[in-house]
Amino acid sequence: MTVLVVAASLLVGMSLGVLGGGGSILTVPILVYLAGQGTKEAVATSLFVVGVTSLAALIPHARALRVRWRTGLLFGAFSMAGAYGGGRLAAYVPGTALLVAFALMMLATAVAMLRR
């Protein structure tokens, strides 16, 4: 099982580095269903994993001058505030409800991507 989790983790890192996204959508299910974490722990862990992975992927993109720092910092600051609020709110939401909301978000994202 450890080999499967490591392989899936490499896939998450590759998707973040190449596409700039997909981290949480891939990480939460991996942590819940492959690594055996509880829903709330998986959500919190995925925030850390995606953050660290994104920082690592930022380096080559920044060196290639493909980063709009002002936009990224502004968007990141407000996203961090939203993430903090969401983390506080998640303490009051059952784990099953979080997984259902996460699945619905994944479906909505897939539909939006296929439409455009």
Look at residue 20 in the predicted model and tell me its pLDDT.
67
Look at residue 94 in the predicted model and tell me its pLDDT.
93
Lowest-confidence region among 13-27, 42-56, 86-100: 13-27
47: left (phi over 0), alpha (psi -120 to 50) or beta: alpha
Which pLDDT band, with edges at 50, 70 and 90, does 97 fall under?
Answer: very high
Contacts of 20 (CB under 8 A, 6+ apart): 57
Contacts of 30 (CB under 8 A, 6+ apart): 5, 8, 9, 12
